[in-house]
Structure 1
């Protein structure tokens, strides 16, 4: 027999009292503890727990617990980033759905993460907690050793929990040093997982923080950066570690198909739409429904398709070729390009309204040259992969080979590095990688002194800045924080000319 629900008027008065009490708490830990205590008392449940996501949205932490009529001080446990052992929490968090189970069955439901109780846990309620922008921040859980219909509390507890996490965010902004761990600013702390990516340089840590902002936020993402920097890997990381991880991830390169084929592939077609259409065909937008569609080289999409894609982004509607009807799809779009879309908009080859729709959250990937020691970390990773594929022992690295890699500018970025390593492994007859296995054109000699190596690094930085600014010396000087006269002096001293900058731009365009 389920226990009786509280009288509406009595419950409303009690709820208001708990709202008032939480509003008066000015310290994060007290607020978290106050929330779980209020939740337990309002529902008359034996257990209440608060789980919060960290800054990168990869770690779920038990932040506060009320059990057996008191706050528990057991050591906080951080659950793994995929929460695969806590399926109930996983469902609530990733699907952003309330989960109410009136009769728990230990054979069907994995509740090993709950604390031990004298009597078996019988009923459970999990609520996703959201920010004002509907970004999932954590989970509020209550459980009872008595049969309860806890679903009736979902709406009121959701309001109370969202109010509390809103107060936590406010406290964090007002007094960051006094906040609790889940709301501690990330600063220079490395990402705990890296989202499957490799690198711990400041540039990559900044990238991890940007990825963490969009994992559970369904905004469109535009990935920019030089060719070969790994934009598809970042898109897959956003999908695999985000709320759509169990849904399809579909990839389409907009430059790989002519206009008519790209349209039929993306939007699908109906039987008889054109010659050879002997059956209905679902497009990539339908294949990616409830998941993610990654559109690589979006700058090469024809204008006619850009208009149709804009309607998908605005209305969530798809109309296949040969059909007069539209249907709804729920697709997250992640676009990528190595081109300057603003320049394409000014040139009239890219729609301005589509650009603003896609660039809600732009993320620029750093070139490999700016990632420092990540070059060696990536090189060892690719070498281990190549050795495993060839079924040979892992090769050692000579110091001269490592110095040569660090001095090379890598215009092709990570893609070029991977190809160089795979070629070097094939050329290596012994078990040690040497400079001659790479033959890097333009790489600094290993016998350069410190001043010469610093000049080589400075020269590469100046050239890359000029390239990013299309050779505009005034803009490059502003970006580097230098007077224009100083930039011109250093260009002359380091033998940098506009012809070299243009040559590199042409080399990138051919890749």
Structure 2
């Protein structure tokens, strides 16, 4: 890229004049394709900031990955593309908070910077600038790094403006390029759950892959989500993932348990009140709907909400309006509702304990979380993760698991699900005097007291039980398809399921998830 095409900013002043700015923007607009635009952008910004490294990261269609799309390093294009910036805490923070991040003195011992390429001289300063699309939602990051101390703070505003314009132009080019594709070319392969990532959640079982796929469908639209599943399956974690990886990530996330407060207090907590509305209301107070305006309100245990409050919640969902206690005026709020319950709301509707109109308004997009006993190998992965986290919390040396203890965990049903497993591991670590976790530390029902080792048959049955559960979950309980995948006659599959204590579910009992 020649200096005639793009004039650099005045490095001494660190603020561009109008002529230089217009020259650079004009060169971007005249690019013929998206690849050329990306390359000219990073090259120009390297001159703009007088820095050795410029990286352009763009969110993918699901907003679950932040791949490196283009890099300018020491005067030329280079570097590996496709690296996920969300794995770097500094980039993930700047993106999720929608705020520039500037480090004038970069300390590699304090800040993890795996996204910076290897260099003979240390990188000394860093600037991360979120860029917005035409809908004013975060679409990616610009990263500038220098081997000298300090990148001018005056760069933040020009970067913001240039990045936003370039991103809008880039999206327009990409849409035009797709429109010009021949009609007989195959369409891009739809993103699967495995490609979308886990949204910060733990688990790779087919049941969790289905959950990830459903989460990806609701990240960037305001549809109300209803999370179902047994207690302890991680409903609040999923609600946070929907918020943190969605378009409202930079706005508040407010959680409220509907069963934790009596009706009158819950109403004032949600809707707020005006001075004099009741005894003790000596000043105006905004409610959680106002506090979550622009963001997400998570209503846990929605099935325990009193009927009178359900009517007020229905109006918020339908009209987007909130009326505080003691006020005769309503005002509009923009809040995304994510509700959760471990109860069967449809049964409550039939029994008169839950409003039918609210039920259908909440259940536009249900996501059912699988119990831990149906997640197979996830139990091992969760156990290892919780062990590491708990050891850090307890400030003790890391503990490892014995094979027999891990195999024994896989045989348990865990009625309290992930919450029970986490508490169990915390207790086991307190009971463990050494650095090896054994079955005797788990204190589970029927834990062997004489022998600390499972027999070979018990270990093999635990492995087989996990495989069958995963296969059944993958085929939504269809025994014929499961037997075909495992290479077994259907009669043999039924025999093994009965012998291993796996429930024989009919097709009508198989859980239906939205496609």
Same fold (TM > 0.5): yes
- The aligned counterpart of 1:32 is 34
Contact 1:32 1:164 in 2 (8 A): yes
Range 283-292 or range 442-451, more displaced: 442-451
The root-mean-square deviation of aligned C-alpha atoms, in Å, is 5.5
Q: 1:303 pairs with 288, 303, 307, which one?
A: 307
Q: 2:390 pairs with 386, 390, 393, which one?
A: 386
Residue 411 of structure 1: how far off its partner (Å) = 1.8
Contact 1:129 1:140 in 2 (8 A): no
Separation in structure 1 between the aligned mates of residue 85 and residue 62 of structure 2, nearest angstrom: 13
Q: 2:457 pairs with 436, 441, 449, which one?
A: 449
Residue 242 of structure 1: how far off its partner (Å) = 3.3
| 1:201-350 alignment runs, 5 A limit | 201-350=205-354
Change (3 A) 1:436 1:161: same
Residue 175 of structure 1: how far off its partner (Å) = 5.1
Residue 185 of structure 1: how far off its partner (Å) = 3.3
SS in 1 for 2:427: helix
Residue 230 of structure 1: how far off its partner (Å) = 1.0
Change (3 A) 1:58 1:5: closer
**Structure 2 residue 59 is matched with structure 1 residue 57:** no
Change (3 A) 1:369 1:56: farther
Change (3 A) 1:290 1:433: same
- 1:399-455 deviations in Å (ceiling 9; x for gaps): 211110011121211111112112222222333222122232267982151797169
Q: 1:414 pairs with 404, 414, 418, which one?
A: 418
Separation in structure 1 between the aligned mates of residue 429 and residue 158 of structure 2, nearest angstrom: 63
Separation in structure 1 between the aligned mates of residue 88 and residue 459 of structure 2, nearest angstrom: 50
- The aligned counterpart of 1:25 is none
Contact 1:2 1:149 in 2 (8 A): no
- The aligned counterpart of 1:405 is 409
- The aligned counterpart of 1:472 is none
Change (3 A) 1:259 1:460: farther
- 1:373-420 deviations in Å (ceiling 9; x for gaps): 221222223233333444433333222111100111212111111121
Separation in structure 1 between the aligned mates of residue 396 and residue 131 of structure 2, nearest angstrom: 51
- The aligned counterpart of 1:76 is 81
Separation in structure 2 between the aligned mates of residue 239 and residue 357 of structure 1, nearest angstrom: 20
Separation in structure 2 between the aligned mates of residue 37 and residue 461 of structure 1, nearest angstrom: 49
Separation in structure 2 between the aligned mates of residue 39 and residue 423 of structure 1, nearest angstrom: 54
- 1:50-72 deviations in Å (ceiling 9; x for gaps): 753135524333536899xxx95
Contact 1:82 1:241 in 2 (8 A): no
Change (3 A) 1:186 1:176: farther
Structure 1: give runs of 5+ residues left out of the alignment.
22-30, 100-104, 108-112, 114-124, 142-147, 466-474, 502-511
Separation in structure 1 between the aligned mates of residue 271 and residue 322 of structure 2, nearest angstrom: 7
Contact 1:253 1:296 in 2 (8 A): yes
**TM-score between both structures, scaled by the size of structure 1:** 0.65
- 1:83-117 deviations in Å (ceiling 9; x for gaps): 88679x968x976x9x9xxxxx999xxxxx9xxxx
Residue 319 of structure 1: how far off its partner (Å) = 0.5
Range 46-55 or range 285-294, more displaced: 46-55
**TM-score between both structures, scaled by the size of structure 2:** 0.65
Change (3 A) 1:425 1:79: closer
Separation in structure 2 between the aligned mates of residue 431 and residue 66 of structure 1, nearest angstrom: 47
Q: 2:432 pairs with 424, 428, 435, which one?
A: 428
SS in 1 for 2:367: strand
Contact 2:227 2:235 in 1 (8 A): yes
Change (3 A) 1:172 1:389: farther
Structure 2: give runs of 5+ residues left out of the alignment.
1-16, 105-114, 116-128, 144-156, 484-489, 506-515
Separation in structure 2 between the aligned mates of residue 173 and residue 443 of structure 1, nearest angstrom: 63
Range 418-427 or range 485-494, more displaced: 485-494
Separation in structure 1 between the aligned mates of residue 227 and residue 385 of structure 2, nearest angstrom: 24
Separation in structure 1 between the aligned mates of residue 103 and residue 497 of structure 2, nearest angstrom: 75
**Structure 2 residue 8 is matched with structure 1 residue 2:** no
Range 156-165 or range 256-265, more displaced: 156-165
- The aligned counterpart of 1:200 is 204
Residue 166 of structure 1: how far off its partner (Å) = 3.8
